[in-house]
Amino acid sequence: MTDTRIITGHVLSFMQSPFQTDPAEAVRIHDAVAVEDGHIAALGTEETLRASYPRARLDRHKGKVILPGFVDAHVHYPQTAIIASWGKRLIDWLNTYTFPEEIRLSDPEYAAEIAQRYLDLALSNGTTTMCSFATSSPASVPAFFEAAQALGVRVVAGKTCMDRNAPDALCDTAQSAYEDSKALIERWHDTGRIGYAITPRFSPTSTPAQLEALGALWREHPDCLMQTHLSEQTDEIAWMRSLFPDARDYLDTYEKFGLVGSRGLYGHAIHLEPRERDRLREVGAALVHCPTSNCFIGSGLFDMSGLMAEGQRIGLATDTGGGSSFSMLRTMAAAYEIAQLRGTALHPAQLLWLATCGSAESLHLGDRIGRIAVGMEADLIAIDLASTPAIAQRAARAGDLWEAIFPTIMMGDDRAIADVWISGTPLTRPKDV
Ligand code: GUN
Ligand code: ZN
């Protein structure tokens, strides 16, 4: 039997990138969306859709905004319990907080508990797809995939590979990283809604031999994504230079070993050289902006407008738990603030596009998620534009929908997420049917 549902509200459907046209013109606003068998079936008015789908259930969300579920293009689910740890910059933060916690996830029971906790927090914040690093323990990958599969959410993840400059308990080898990652790809990649990302943590924690092995693995499985970190902090770049004295720049430490390609995701990408920018654009790689993390760990100001103007593919991410939030609303607010510090005011349509379509395209999933259009998978959220008294009183003054949405982007959190649908099925009971 087909399961059909009509959801009403301000349904936002991006027709093109709001970075390539007048932002408000990039979006069409419909009154209702029909979902059938987990996919978007039609857009229109409540009346026309009820005529076409007379047996459909009706979820009325008058005044709320219906969006694709948020897509978080770079997270570390194992860092859930150490989010908001005080006082360190990147290298000290890794050694003091992150590595000890990632060692704890070598216990598969603890990994399963953290995976479930992370997914619950992400979903309550309206994030329906994420691309996560696991730890270097191979069992931390199925812990995440099994929890995601039980919820029916679309996810990407991979075993983090590190064979130097990390505690022994977290170090693998070039050979074991290759073999364990390959076995995980063969077991999990492209099963149901799960994708695999080959995951060298960053070049300072991998020997050239490990990077070479992972480059070979990517050539053998070119439909996998590859995720890593790039040019996040100046101290990290100086360290990379001492470890790879022959490299032209940071990107070259990946490029030499076949780890630069269009399905590559490069987290942070703040302090880029002109050659690196040219090469990333040439191959169509994705740069992932992690604005709360870049503020929290003190990394720097991502050049959103410059990188967009030169045609880079860009996604948006929390970078939980270097990032200080599970919320893509909070992440959009930080992206807005960083752009302001660089002299550009991002339009709310641009921020919403980055958190949905932009991130989905960075994961090469733009044909399935991240947009409300016929045929797309129906992972949807309803956003309450008056979720707190402070937001409500500002939205009440708004002259148009964008002005009403912006206070929620800047001040909203999980209280603004009124409902979440995964493949067209509500995760929580609709509150105001
Ligand atoms: N660089 C290498 N590992 C990490 C990590 O876990 N978080 C962040 N923010 N940067 C990294
Ligand atoms: Zn990261």
| DSSP reduced 3-state for 201 | coil
pLDDT of residue 433 exceeding 50: no
Phi, psi (degrees; rounded to nearest 5) at 254: -90, -40
Which pLDDT does position 86 carry in this prediction?
A: 97
pTM summary value: 0.98
Do residues 329 and 292 touch, judged by C-beta distance below 8 A?
Answer: no
Kindly report, residue by residue over 420-431, the tens digit of the pLDDT. Answer: 999 999 996 444
Tell me the pLDDT tens digit for each residue of 217-241.
999 999 999 999 999 999 999 999 9
Q: What is the Å distance from ligand 1's center to 136 Cα? A: 13
**The pLDDT value given to residue 431:** 43
Position 2 pLDDT exceeds 90: no
- In this model, does residue 376 exceed pLDDT 50? yes
Q: Looking at residues 398-426, what average pLDDT do you find? A: 98
Q: How long a stretch of residues is the chain?
A: 433
pLDDT tens, residue by residue, 69-80: 999 999 999 999
The string of pLDDT tens digits covering residues 275-320 is 999 999 999 999 999 999 999 999 999 999 999 999 999 999 999 9
Percent of the chain with pLDDT over 70: 98
Q: Which fold does the domain 70-362 belong to in CATH?
A: TIM Barrel (3.20.20)
Ligand 1 centre from 267 Cα, in Å?
A: 9
70-362: same fold as 4-68+371-426? no
Specify the higher pLDDT residue, 77 or 433.
77
Q: Is the CB of 202 under 6 A from ligand 1?
A: yes
Q: Which ligand has the shortest distance to the CA of 97?
A: 1
The mean pLDDT value for 107-120 works out to 98
Flag whether pLDDT at 369 surpasses 60: yes
Q: Is 297 helix (H, G, I), strand (E, B) or coil?
A: coil
What's the pLDDT at 429?
47
Of 83, 102, 105, 202, the residue with max ligand 1 atoms within 8 A of its CB, to mutate for a pocket test, comes to 202
Question: For the chain, what are the domain ranges?
Answer: 4-68+371-426, 70-362
> pLDDT digits over 328-364, tens only?
999 999 999 999 999 999 999 999 999 999 999 999 9
Rounded distance, CA 338 to CA 291, Å?
7
Alpha carbons 248 and 279: distance in angstroms, whole number:
12
Closest Cα to residue 132, out of 208, 71, 210, 74?
74
359 close to 73: Cβ distance less than 8 angstroms: yes
428: Cα separation from own chain's centroid? 22
- In 64-159, at which residue ranges do the beta strands (DSSP E only) sit? 65-68, 70-76, 127-133, 154-158
- The proportion of the chain whose per-residue pLDDT surpasses 90, expressed as a percent, equals 98
CA of 75 to the centre of ligand 1 (A): 10
Distance CA 296, CA 192 (A): 35
Query: Mean per-residue pLDDT for 57-77?
Result: 98
* Superfamily, domain 4-68+371-426: Urease, subunit C, domain 1 (2.30.40.10)
Q: Which ligand 1 atom is the nearest neighbour of the CA of 133?
A: 6
Run of H or E residues at 419: strand 417-422
C-alpha 111 to ligand 1 mean position (Å):
19
**Site to substitute for ligand 1 among 91, 201, 239, most atoms within 8 A of C-beta:** 201
- pLDDT, one tens digit per residue, over 164-216 is 999 999 999 999 999 999 999 999 999 999 999 999 999 999 999 999 999 99
Q: Is 93 in the pocket of ligand 1 (CB under 6 A)?
A: no
Band of residue 3 on the pLDDT scale cut at 50, 70, 90? confident
The whole-number pLDDT of residue 196 equals 99
Ligand nearest to the CA of 202: 1
**Dihedral Cα 289, 400, 389, 10, nearest 10 deg:** -70
